[in-house]
Structure formats: C-alpha cells, structure tokens
C-alpha cells in the first residue's frame, strides 16, 4: 500500500525527470492539450499543474503506454507541475504485484520519476463514504438485477433503456442493503450499487451504471477487508479528485464516458466535503482535493503489432513467445530487451504528436526513431553473423598487428580503439559470390575488394568441401593499399567488414524481426486470427563472431555492427565470456522493399 505521504510530501519536490524537456529552449511543443494547460495557467484557473499516470496492474505496459507516460509526466515537467503514479487496483482478481514492480521499472527506465506513488485502494474508505453520500442524495440505489438482466434493461443505441424495478427503493433501504453488501452478507453478483442518472440518455454510459459490485476476492493491498469493489469510472474520477489532478489525460475511448466522470466528481464533490477525506487525512495524506478536467487524445497504434493485453497474455501463456520480455513483444520490457532506448521512444512520441484522431501508424516511424537515435549514440564494432574463412596467403602464419579504428565515424568524441588483424579472417558469407549476380560489388574469384581499414585484397581461390560448398577463400593483400598509402586510392567497387579469426569471440546472435507478417494482424479476415499471421522468421539464432571490444560490452549496451545493423548486448543472457547480442533494427527498412 502507498505510504501515507509524510514521505510523499517530500516526493512532491522531485525535480524534472531525466530526459524530460523541462528547461529546453529550442523547441516549444505545440498541441491542443498543452494549449489548454497554457490557457489554464494564464487565466489563473490553476496555479500549478497536476497530472497522473494511472495504469491497471493487470499486465505489462506496452508501446502505447509510452505515449501516455511521456504525455502525463512530460506536461507536468514542462509546466513545473507534478505527476503521480497511481495504480488502478480495483479489480484484484486480475492484478499481480509482479505487474506493479514492472510498471514502476518501466516508468523510471523511460526517464521519469513520480511525485507520489498512489493506489486506488488507498482511497477505498473515501469511495465508500462517497457512495453513501450518493445514496443519501437519492443519486444511487442498490439493484438486484443480474448482469444479464441489466444488459436486457439497458436498451440500445436507438432504443432507451428501462428503469430497474429496484430504482425507487428508499434511502433507508438502500443504505441498509449497501452496508450489508459492505459487511459481506451477500454472494458475488447478486446485487450492485448503481448510479441513478437517466435510462433514456442517448449516452449509454449514463444509463444508471454500476458503481460498486460484490466480489469476495482477496486484494494484494487490503487483504480481505473489502468484499465490494468500486467500478472503474467511479474510482478513477474520484481518485483524480482526491489527488487534486488538474488535467486528467486519457485516450479517446473514454470520450463517451466523460459525462459520467464529471457526474461522479460533481455529485460526490470531495472538494466541497473534506469530511469525506478524513480517513486519508488520519493516515497522513495531504488535503489536496479539487475538480479535475478529463481531456482525451488518440491512442498509439502501430501496424504489424497487437496491443491487446488479452492477446499479449495469450501469446505468453501459449508459449508462442518466450515471455513478457521477449524482444519481439511490444511490451516496454520486450522492446527494452530488443535494444530500444528511452530516448528513441521519446523521439517517436514527439514525431507522432498529440491529436484527437485515431489512426494506424506505420511501424517504420518507431523503427526510424531507433535508427536515428542509435546512429548518433551507438559506437561502431565489427561482427560477422554468417562466417566464411578468408586466408591472406601472402602474410606469414604468425602475422598479427593492431589497427586503429574510430569508435564513431561521425563523432570524434567517442575516441578510438585497437582492432587485431591477422592472416586468417572471418568475413560475411554473403560478401562472396562464386557466380556473382548483376551489380554485385563484393568479392569474387579474381576480383578485388577493400577490407575495411586494412587494405585491398584479391581473391585467388575458393576452397570447397566434398559437397561442393565454399568453405575458405585464399586471397592476397596489397601491402601498398593501407589507408593513407597511395595505393589506397585505387578504385575498388566494394568494401567489406571482417574480424580476425584468431582473436574473434564466438557470440550467440539473435536476429529478430517483426512478430507478425501482415500489417493488420487484428483484422480477423477469412477465418484467420492474429495467431495465423505470426512471422516464422521473427527470430533466427546463429553463432557468429565479434571483435574483442564488442564482447566486453555491458548488458544493454548498444552498437552498430558495421554493415549489419544495430545490436544490443542482451540484458538477461549476455556475459563477457559468452556474448549474446540481439538485433534491434536493421540499417535500412527491409520491409519497405518487400512492399
């Protein structure tokens, strides 16, 4: 359970999060939400901004949540306000402390820190008092209809609903029944507490929605203290009011529920009835109740992904992926393991922008943000994924030297490193063709190619095994073609990379690609489901070789493996003596070519 914030009071002075845009002068973000915030501050409606990120701890966060996190925490930081992390833990049957821990880790990984850590379960006493207030005002009643009967009474988009036969119970009877619900006297599902609004409303959300249901389930924070639990709309709106949230930002599917949000806030009126908050005040929580404003924005949807928690859970439980942090999963834990960086995700969110229009975005936006981020931030290393032996026959068997390479060709501040060079090298198998296709610019028998940073070589012979497969190339190095020598100016069509066979470190290299092979795996057309569109080539594991400096990487350190793509040392499995690298993204969008 949340700490009664004496400690939270100290948390409230948390500085702007790492990587947040507070204090930057070069780019003032412009979108309709930030304009609302600017106007509210300028008019004096609010002296300070308070936002919250309110995940339900029933699964792992995914890429879509990154947009909400960056918006909630980012706006608070930009305008000198505060953002709480609040767990919407009102449905204990589906919630787990594992998810709570992972969500906190994800928020911090993205570069943000919350002002105060809260749980909706902190407020259960206040919610209950608010419900009794609604009953006394004639704004709520205990209903005995079953779930199926409630649906039958609700009506349709074109037909009004019908009043429950229990709608006109007296205040006294409603209070008695609700208190007996609270005491655990009734079985699950046999009664609900419903708001009394308007069964003829054109907005179905206002047709006497349930605000409490009976559920005899142990809660991870409150144990068995409560056999009744508040419904989301009621708990969420009052949680915002309790915390003095000024701008409650949520996705567009909640737009139709905004009138219910406002109804709950206005009818309970916590700001005007501080006595309802006494249980929190007794526990050391600050008095900060206010009237929040809900504002909706479009959610983040990319093609080639599924974002449904239900479907992601099924992928995990059915063994179709290796867990929530499988690098092919769109969870924040998964893409982190894939090699996505917090700065790449924040760049993606900036590029996508904030709007009121839902759309399916091309995943190349996400991949492009990672390429741009790592192009600037990732040191370069040499690695060979599909190795083919190349022997420089004009060098002695014991030839060995150290060549100097820049760690980043575009940024001298990355410094230089020493790379061992010897008679026998590994090159990429696809860099040799015995019968080269038209336009091939790499190595062929009798042809020249430039070895990156080492000189120009000519292939003299391709050695084959008994099955006719090329297993080794015999080549000659031009000693006058080293970088800086006159011979290096000789025109050669191609340049290939390499690692010294004597010094290279064997590495497990996991070649990840998109998890689904079609742009809209959720389409469910032709009797197929998202499962039928799993990409069989979404992961291929090979044993390659990396230069010694790459093997020394720390877990989660990213590199550009020259000519191959961006790779990251796996955060779980990588060791210096047994390197494991995951491909984060290719150097170019290979899927665009497929289209």
CB 571, CB 595: distance < 8 Å: no
What Cα–Cα distance (Å) separates residue 84 from each residue in 254, 350, 414?
A: 20, 22, 38
The SS3 call for residue 426 is strand
CA–CA dist 80, 496 (Å, integer)? 51
Within the chain, how many helices (H) and strands (E) appear?
A: 16, 25
Lay out the sheet containing 117-119: strands in order across: 50-53, 82-87, 117-119
Among 167, 283, 299, 458, the one annotated catalytic: 299
Q: How far apart are CA 142 and CA 421, in angstroms?
A: 81
What three-state secondary structure class fits 511? strand
Identify whether 45 is a catalytic site residue: no
- Cα–Cα distance, 277 to 265 (Å, whole number): 14
Active-site hit among 34, 52, 56, 510 = 56
Beta strand 387-392 with 580-585: parallel, antiparallel or unpaired? Answer: unpaired
Residue with tokens 């009877």: 173
The Cβ-side half-sphere exposure at 347, using a 13 Å CA radius, reads 16
Q: Which two tokens stand for residue 42?
A: 């300028």
Please list the helix, strand and coil fractions of the chain in percent, rounded to the nearest 5, in that order: 30, 25, 45
105 is catalytic: no
In Å, how far are 163, 210, 254 from 250, measured between CA atoms? 31, 21, 7
- Rounded to an integer, what distance in angstroms lies between the CA atom of residue 92 and that of residue 97? 10
Half-sphere exposure of 222 (CA within 13 A, CB side): 20
Taking residue 173's Cβ as centre, other Cβ atoms within 10 Å add up to 14
Q: Give 572: exposed, middle or buried? Use CB within 10 Å, 0-12, 13-18, 19+.
A: exposed
How far apart are the C-alpha atoms of 337 and 234, rounded to whole Å?
37
Active-site residue, selected from the candidate residues 162, 182, 283, 309: 309
510 part of the active site: no
Catalytic positions are: 56, 299, 309
């Amino acid at each position: 359970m949340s700490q009664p914030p004496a400690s939270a009071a100290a948390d409230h002075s948390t500085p702007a999060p790492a990587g947040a845009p507070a204090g930057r002068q070069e780019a003032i973000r412009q979108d309709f939400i930030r304009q609302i915030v600017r106007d509210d501050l300028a008019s004096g409606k609010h002296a300070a901004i308070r936002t919250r990120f309110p995940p339900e701890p029933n699964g792992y966060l995914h890429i879509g949540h990154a947009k909400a996190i960056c918006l909630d925490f980012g706006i608070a930081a930009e305008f000198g306000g505060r953002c709480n992390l609040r767990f919407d833990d009102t449905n204990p049957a589906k919630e787990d402390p594992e998810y709570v821990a992972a969500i906190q880790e994800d928020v911090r990984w993205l570069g943000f820190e919350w002002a105060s850590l809260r749980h909706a379960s902190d407020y259960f006493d206040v919610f209950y008092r608010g419900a009794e207030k609604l009953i006394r005002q004639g704004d709520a009643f205990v209903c005995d209809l079953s779930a199926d009967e409630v649906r039958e009474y609700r009506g349709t988009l074109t037909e009004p609903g019908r009043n429950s036969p229990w709608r006109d119970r007296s205040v006294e009877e409603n209070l008695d029944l609700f208190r007996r619900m609270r005491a655990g006297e009734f079985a699950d599902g046999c009664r609900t507490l419903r708001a009394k609004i308007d069964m003829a409303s054109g907005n179905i959300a206002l047709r006497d929605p349930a605000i409490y249901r009976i559920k005899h389930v142990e809660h991870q924070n409150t144990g068995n203290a409560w056999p009744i639990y508040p419904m989301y709309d009621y708990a969420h709106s009052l949680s915002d009011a309790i915390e003095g949230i000024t701008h409650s930002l949520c996705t567009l599917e909640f737009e139709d529920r905004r009138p219910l949000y406002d109804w709950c806030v206005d009818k309970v009126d916590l700001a005007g009835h501080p006595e309802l908050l006494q249980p929190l005040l007794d526990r050391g929580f600050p008095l900060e109740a206010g009237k929040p404003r809900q504002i909706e924005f479009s959610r983040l949807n990319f093609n080639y992904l599924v974002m449904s928690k239900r479907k992601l859970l099924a992928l995990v439980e059915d063994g179709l992926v290796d867990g929530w942090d499988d690098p092919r999963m769109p969870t924040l834990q998964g893409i982190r393991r894939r090699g996505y960086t917090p700065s790449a995700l924040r760049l993606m969110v900036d590029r996508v922008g904030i709007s009121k229009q839902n759309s399916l975005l091309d995943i190349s936006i996400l991949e492009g943000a990672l390429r741009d981020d790592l192009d600037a931030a990732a040191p370069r290393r040499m690695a060979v994924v599909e190795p083919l032996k190349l022997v420089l026959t004009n060098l002695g068997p014991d030839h060995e030297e150290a060549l100097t390479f820049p760690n980043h060709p575009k940024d001298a501040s990355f410094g230089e490193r020493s790379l061992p060079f010897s008679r026998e090298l590994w090159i990429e198998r696809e860099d040799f063709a015995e019968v080269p296709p038209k336009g091939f610019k790499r190595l062929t028998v009798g042809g020249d190619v430039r070895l990156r940073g080492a000189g120009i070589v000519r292939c003299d012979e391709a050695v084959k095994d008994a099955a006719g497969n090329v297993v080794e190339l015999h080549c000659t190095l031009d000693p006058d073609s080293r970088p800086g020598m006159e011979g290096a100016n000789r025109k050669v069509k191609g340049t290939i990379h390499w690692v010294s066979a004597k010094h290279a470190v064997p590495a497990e290299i996991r070649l990840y690609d998109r998890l689904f092979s079609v742009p809209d795996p959720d389409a469910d057309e032709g009797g197929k489901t998202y499962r039928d569109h799993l990409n069989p080539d979404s992961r291929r594991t090979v044993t390659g070789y990396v230069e010694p400096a790459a093997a020394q990487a720390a877990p989660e350190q990213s590199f550009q493996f020259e000519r191959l793509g961006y790779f990251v040392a796996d955060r779980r499995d990588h060791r210096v003596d047994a390197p494991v690298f995951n491909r984060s993204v290719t150097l170019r969008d290979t899927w665009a070519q497929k289209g």
